[in-house]
Each structure stands twice: as C-alpha cells, then as structure tokens.
Structure 1
Amino acid sequence: MDDAVVSPAASAPAARRGARASLLGVVPLSLVFLVMILVPLVLVVDLSFRQFDYAKGIQPGFTLEHFALIVRDSYFLEIFWRTLWFSALTTLICVAIGLPQAYILTRMTPRWRSIFLLVVLSPLLVSTVVRAFGWSLLLGPNGPVGIAAAAVGIDQLLYTPTSVIIGLVHVMLPFMIIPVWTSLQKLDPSVEHAAYSLGASRPLALWRVILPQAMPGVLSGSLIVFGLTASAFATPALLGGRRLKVVSTLVYDEILSELNWPLGAAIAIFLLLANVAIMLSYNRVVERSYKRSLG
C-alpha cells in the first residue's frame, strides 16, 4: 500500500517521546524561575516572620509582630496609601496619554510608525536613575520647568508629589502604549469605516468600536504600569526626596539604615499581597465591563 496507516500502538511511543522532549525543554526555564524568583521569595517570607532585637539582631522564632505593626501604625499606613495613590494616578494618566498615542500609531504609514515607535521606546534605553536626575534638573529651582513654575506662582516642583508623578509617567508610558497598540493592530479598519457609513460620529465610533478592541491592551498595560509603579524606587527616591517616602524607600530604610531586616521583609510582602489583591480585583472589574460592552 502506498498510503501507510499508522496504528495507535505505533504512534504511542512517538507521542511519549514528544512529551518527554517537551518536558525536557520546560525544565531549564522552570529551574530559572525556581532559583531566581521562588527561592528568594520564600526566603523573604521566612525572614518576615523572624523576631528582631536591636541589640541582638535577627532572632530565631516565629512572630506576627511586624505585620501587626504595619496594620496598626498610621505611619506605615500613610506610606502605603501614598504609594497606591501614586500608582493609581500614574496608571490613569498613562491610559489617558497612551491610548490616543497607540491609536495614532495604528493610523501611521509603516515608515513613520517605525520612527515613532523608536521615539516611544527610546526612554527605555536610558537608565531610570539618569532619567530621574534629568527631571530633577528640569524641575529644580534653576531648571527651565522650575523657573516657569515660579513665574506662575508655584514655589517648588521638585520633591513634591507632582514631580514624582511626572517622573513615573515618563518612565511607565511605554509600558502602556505598546500593549494598547498591539491590541489595536488586530482591528480591521473596515469595521471603523462601516461604523461611519452607518451614520456614527467619530466620538461614537471611537467609543463603541475602537475602545472595546483596545480594552485588552489597556487592561494588560494598566496591570504592568500599576505593578511597576508600586515597586518603583529610583524615581520616587530622587524626585520625592527623603521626606516623601513610598513603600520601596521605606523597605530600603528599614533594611539598610535601621538594619531591621524582618520588618523590611514584612513590608515588602505586605506590598506584594496588596498589589496582587488590587490587580486581581481590577482585572475582574475590567473584564466584566468589557464583556458587558460586547454584549
């Protein structure tokens, strides 16, 4: 027979070999994930439950004292609230700026799109510390933005929440534009033209046709921006100064200044749990809204 029929018994060894090859291919990545992420995280969690004495250092034994201190101390709660507020406001501004920019990118010719994509991604080629120092020069009393602000009655921009938000938006904006642009790449232009031909105005077409298609990108971009902003260190430290603390600078102070490693680890774990809870809730709300708009 010219067309050989492969029996299930004969194909079973080949399937098992393919499964073993796939498993072997996953093992290196799993080991990297285990060593680089899970093991340090487990060590930090273990450290957060250790007892601490300023005279003797880290002590053996299990305690919830550090987590209880975070919950009941208004100093820590204020810093957590400030961090989450910075993250939410930065995410909102990035959505407001990044969504129109991503839409404009989809309407450009390939040549101009490549140029503007390079412009969007170029800040990622520069260190965050360098960008923060650049903003500190611009927003300082002798910088052009600081001088312009003083001319309209604003005494100081540097070391204020405004300067921190400006720096964070500059850092995080590419992480919003790229996911939204990727989502809009799947949109067929004829769908938008069909909406216009049926009498829809441009705002209505943007609201009912373009925005629902961009929502997956907005969701993923928002989660990325919020998570990265909540854990950002260099930008808040350099543009906010020592008085305007966020959780990341608080962890730095507790570990390297106070040498209270268990408390610093507990603050970091508390931020991780808060981030996960907020992002899961946000994901559920946005997905429900997206499905409702499609329905």
Structure 2
Amino acid sequence: MDLNKYLSGKTSLNDYVHRLNQNGASFQVHYWGVMPKHYDNQLHKHSFFEVCYVVEGEGTYIDDQNTFTLEENTLFLSRPEILHQIKSEKGLSLLYVAFELIEAESSESWNRIMETAKQCTEVILHNKDEMETALLWKSLLIQATKRQNEFFEEMLSNIAYSLILSILQDFVPALNKSNHKHDPEQHSVLLIQAQLYIHDNLSNSLKLTEVAKHLHISGRHLSRVFVTELGVSFSKYVQDERIKNAMILLKKSNLSLKEIAEETGFMNVQYFTRVFTSMMQISPGKFRSLFVDQNTTTYSHN
C-alpha cells in the first residue's frame, strides 16, 4: 500500500470529516494522518484518543513506560493523558486518527464505553494479515480521493464512523459481547423468501403447494415455517396480505372494486367484499369513502 497515493485523501478527510453523529454518539475528529515515513517523536501526551496503524516498517512504541514492538499490520492506541512515544530508525508508514467523544452530546452508554476504553490495558494489536479495521481505513482513504462522487461527504462520514467503531471494538473486549437481553426478532431466509414471493404475486392463486414448489420445499415444511416463526397459518398470512394491499389500493388508487379484487387475488368482487367486511368491520366502499372527498374525487390528507 503506497501511502503517497492517499495524501490527497488525507486532505479531504481533514477538510470534511470533523464531527460524526450516529446512534447516540457524537465524536469530534481532531485530525487524520497519512505519513509515508514517520521517524522518532518526543515523549508526549494528548487529551484525546489517537490510533495509529503501521502499514510498513519497524519500530517501537512506548506507552506509560511499557515498550512494544511495531511492525507491519500493527494497530496501537494512545489513550488520553498517557505519555507515549514512537521510535523508528528507518521510518514507519503510518495511518493515524485522533478523536474523542463529546460527552454532553452523547448517550450515557457511549460515555461508559469511552470510559472503559480509557482504562483498557491492551493498547497494541499485531496481525499477520490486514485486519478489518485496516480494510475499512483503506476503503475510507480510497473514497476520500474521489471528491467528484455524488455522495462524497455522506460516504466519508459513514465509513469514518464505521472505522471508529471498529477501532473501539478492537481495543474494548466488552464490546464484542452482546449486551442485549433479548436479541431482535430473527426470521429465517426461507420465510423471507416466501413473504417476498407472496407480496410480489398477490394477484395469483398462491396455493401452499405452489409457493412451496417455487421454494423447492414441501408444503408441510412451508406450513410449519409460518406457524413456527409467525404464529399464523400460511393461508391466514396470505389473506391478511391481500387485505393490506387492498386497503392501500382503496386509499391511493382510482381502481374499481372489481379491479382491486383481481389485483389482490380474490376470485370475484363479491368474495372480496365479504372477506374485507368481515376482517375490517366495514365494507370496501365505505372504507374508501373515509379517504376520498366525494365531491372532488381527490384524496384527503386527514
């Protein structure tokens, strides 16, 4: 990785990426660095976090009187108020970024995370191959050289935020453990495929055996998936989707009841009316009248 190619990217990052605000966290980014040859610096400290990644070269890193070896694909963290120093006789190719959390603008959980990061004891990571953080950093620099792109600033901000998260996850082990008491509801890929097929083909008959055949499984298996994962039968799910779609068409289209019945897969308008009225406790015609100004035939926003 020739860092000279990314010097313009460093300029773009320092021009555009100063504040990152997402998911309850507000980060101030003080500077971005791309250094093709970094030699010795003085023993010093910061009031913020600084993270460096060694692209090439060898050297040593001194942190709070502890000395660590630096080599290719090494990531190291300088914590706030900790004296540190980088040494290299032949020079290091370095990427670096300095940031801190704006506590007053961030959630309590983020403030706790950053306090944990300040106390972390593992401040250096060696990898034989490029780690995920390094790949994100490389991607960020590549994007930063493309100022002509339509979503240039948005992409920089999103990748930069992901990079900061990846760095924190590298150095704060607790972040690698889920702290959610309940995982979000998960559905199988098979169910999602079935739901998409149903949604896109409501005007068809949508028999259990036909949908199962499309998914290359048995009807019994597909039926079990709906009951197990959604708690409803296949036929009930299909009927509910037909009615949901019919409600949208009644609100937002000028289609006749007969056309809506056909579009949503009911065999005739009488059957459609009977099912809709049973489920919604109102006829399709009266339902539509709630959303349409009868005098102007334009749709009400109320």
Fold match, TM over 0.5? no
Structure showing greater radius of gyration is 2
The normalised TM-score by structure 2 is 0.21
Higher relative contact order structure (alpha carbons within 8 Å, sequence separation ≥ 6) = 1
The normalised TM-score by structure 1 is 0.21
Report the structure, 1 or 2, having the larger helix content.
Answer: 1
